[in-house]
Amino acid sequence: MTTPGGDAPARPGAPVLDPGSTLGQVLRAHAATVDPWLRAAQGLGAEPASVRAALADVVPVADALTATHPAPADDTPTDAAPTPDGPAPDVPGADAVLAVVRTTLDLVARGRWHTGRAQRTAVVQVLPALAPWVRAHPTHVVPAVVAAADVVARTGLLDAWSARLAAAPAPADAAHVRPALLVAAWRTGLVRYRDAALDAAAALPAALAGPLLGVAPDDVADVLTRHRADRWWWPQAPDGPGVLRRVGGFAAWGGPWVGLPVAVPGGPTGWAVVADGQTWAVVADVHGAGVVPLDDLDLSAAVEAPPRPRGAVGRLLAGRAAAPEPALPVPWQDATTGVVPGGPATGDDVVLVSRAHSYALDVVRVAGGPA
Amino acid sequence: MNAPDADLTQVSAAPTRAGARSVPRGLALDVAHLFADEAAAEPAAGGVPLDEKLRQAYFWMVNHAIISPHYDVEFSDPARPATTFHLGDSRAAVDLPTDQSYSSFVLLPLLTFAVRGRCLLVGGPGRGKTASAILMGVIAGYPVREVRRAMQHGHPQLTVQDMFGTPLPRDLVNAESLADIDVAWRSWLGMRVKIVDEYNRIPTRTQSALLTVLADGYVEVFDQVYETGASAWYLTANDDAGGGTFQVVDALRDRIDVVVKALAFNSRFLGDLVARAERGLRPEENVPPGVVFDADEHDRLHREVLAVPFPAPVRRRLEHFASQLELLERAAWQLEYRTKDTARLAGVDPHLLALADDGRDRVEDVGAQTLNGLSVRALQSLVLYAKAMAYFRGNAEVTLADLRAVLPFVLHDKLQPDLAAPAFDDPEREPLRTDRVSWIRDLFDTACRQHDAADLDRDDPVGDVLAELGQGLDGVDEATVRTRLARIEGLLARWEQATKLHGDVYDDALALKYAHQRYSAYLSWLRWSGA
pLDDT digits (tens, 9 = 90+) for B410-462: 999 888 888 888 888 888 888 888 888 999 999 999 999 989 988 888 888 89
CA–CA gap between residue A17 and residue A275 (Å, rounded): 53
pLDDT over threshold 50, residue A371: no
Sign of CA dihedral A30, A32, A38, A41: negative
Does residue A58 contact residue A21 with C-beta atoms inside 8 Å? no
Burial class (CB in 10 A: 0-12, 13-18, 19+), B356: exposed
**Range B267-273 contact pairs with CB under 8 angstroms and sequence separation of 24 or more:** B268/B69, B269/B67, B269/B69, B272/B67, B273/B67
pLDDT over threshold 70, residue B3: no
Amino acid, res. B282? R
Average pLDDT over residues B28-43: 62
Task: Locate all alpha helices (DSSP H) within B152-194, ordered by sequence.
Answer: 160-164, 169-174
Assign A89 a pLDDT band (cuts: 50, 70, 90).
low
CA-closest candidate to residue B64, choices A366, A11, A81, A45: A45
pLDDT tens, position by position, B91-102:
888 888 888 899
Contacts of B31 in chain A (CB under 8 A): 178-179, 182, 196, 200
> Does any CB of chain A come closer than 8 Å to the CB of residue B143?
no
Burial class (CB in 10 A: 0-12, 13-18, 19+), B346: exposed
Look at A45 and B38 and tell me if their CB atoms are within 8 Å: no
pLDDT over threshold 90, residue B108: yes
- Quick check: pTM over 0.75? no
pLDDT tens, position by position, A92-136:
888 999 999 999 998 998 888 988 889 999 999 999 999 999 999
Phi, psi of B458 (to 5 degrees): -105, -35
At what angle are helices B503-529 and B461-470 packed, to 10 degrees? 40
CA-closest candidate to residue B179, choices B138, B134, B225, B216: B225
Q: Which of A179-188, A350-359, B490-499 has the lowest mean pLDDT?
A: B490-499
Write the CB contacts of A340 (distance below 8 Å, at least 6 apart in sequence). Answer: A263, A264, A265, A270, A271, A272, A309, A351, A352, A353
Does residue B406 contact residue B107 with C-beta atoms inside 8 Å? no
> Does any CB of chain A come closer than 8 Å to the CB of residue B42?
no
Name the closest residue on chain A to residue B276, using Cα atoms.
A44
Burial class (CB in 10 A: 0-12, 13-18, 19+), A13: exposed
Tell me which of B128 and B312 has the higher pLDDT.
B312
Q: Using alpha carbons, list the distances in angstroms from residue A119 to A76, A114, A125, A241.
A: 33, 9, 10, 41
Burial class (CB in 10 A: 0-12, 13-18, 19+), A284: buried
Rama region for A171: left / alpha / beta (φ>0; ψ in -120 to 50; rest)? beta
Q: Using alpha carbons, list the distances in angstroms from residue A342 to A230, A363, B417.
A: 11, 9, 61
Does residue A268 contact residue B26 with C-beta atoms inside 8 Å? yes
| pLDDT of A76 | 37
Look at A283 and B7 and tell me if their CB atoms are within 8 Å: no
CA-closest candidate to residue B9, choices B284, B286, B272: B286
Name the closest residue on chain B to residue A183, using Cα atoms.
B31
Does residue B390 contact residue B263 with C-beta atoms inside 8 Å? no
CA–CA gap between residue B148 and residue B143 (Å, rounded): 9
Tell me which of B67 and B106 has the higher pLDDT.
B106
CA–CA gap between residue B20 and residue A371 (Å, rounded): 39
CA-closest candidate to residue A60, choices A143, A131, A7: A131
CA–CA gap between residue A165 and residue A183 (Å, rounded): 9
Going by DSSP bridges, is the β-strand pair B73-75/B99-102 parallel, antiparallel, or unpaired? antiparallel
CA–CA gap between residue B221 and residue B230 (Å, rounded): 19
Q: Which of A45-54, A115-124, B134-143, B245-254 has the lowest mean pLDDT?
A: B245-254
Per the omega criterion (within 30 degrees of 0), is the bond before B81 cis? no
Name the closest residue on chain A to residue B13, using Cα atoms.
A147
Residue B344 parent element (H or E): helix B340-345
Assign B324 a pLDDT band (cuts: 50, 70, 90).
confident
**DSSP structure string for A43-73:** HTT--HHHHHHHHHHHHHHHHHHHTTSPPPT
Q: How many helices (H) and strands (E) does chain B have?
A: 20, 13
Does residue B350 contact residue B372 with C-beta atoms inside 8 Å? yes
Write the CB contacts of B204 (distance below 8 Å, at least 6 apart in sequence). Answer: B246, B247, B249
Average pLDDT over residues B109-114: 95
Phi, psi of A284 (to 5 degrees): -150, 150
pLDDT tens, position by position, B357-378:
666 666 678 888 888 888 888 9
CA–CA gap between residue A58 and residue A52 (Å, rounded): 10
| pLDDT of A10 | 40
> Does any CB of chain A come closer than 8 Å to the CB of residue B38?
yes
| pLDDT of B477 | 87
First to last CA, chain B: 80
Average pLDDT over residues A217-246: 91
Contacts of B37 in chain A (CB under 8 A): 119, 146-147, 150-151
Assign A361 a pLDDT band (cuts: 50, 70, 90).
very high
Look at B34 and A292 and tell me if their CB atoms are within 8 Å: no
| pLDDT of B22 | 54
pLDDT over threshold 50, residue A4: no
Name the closest residue on chain A to residue B26, using Cα atoms.
A268
CA–CA gap between residue B272 and residue B327 (Å, rounded): 50
| pLDDT of B46 | 43
Contacts of B29 in chain A (CB under 8 A): 190, 192-193, 196
Residue B178 is classified by DSSP as: G
Beta strands in B276-434 (DSSP E): none
3-state secondary structure at position B490: helix
Going by DSSP bridges, is the β-strand pair A278-285/A271-275 parallel, antiparallel, or unpaired? antiparallel
Q: Which residues pair with A365 in a beta bridge?
A: A242, A350
Phi, psi of B198 (to 5 degrees): 50, 60
Average pLDDT over residues A288-314: 67
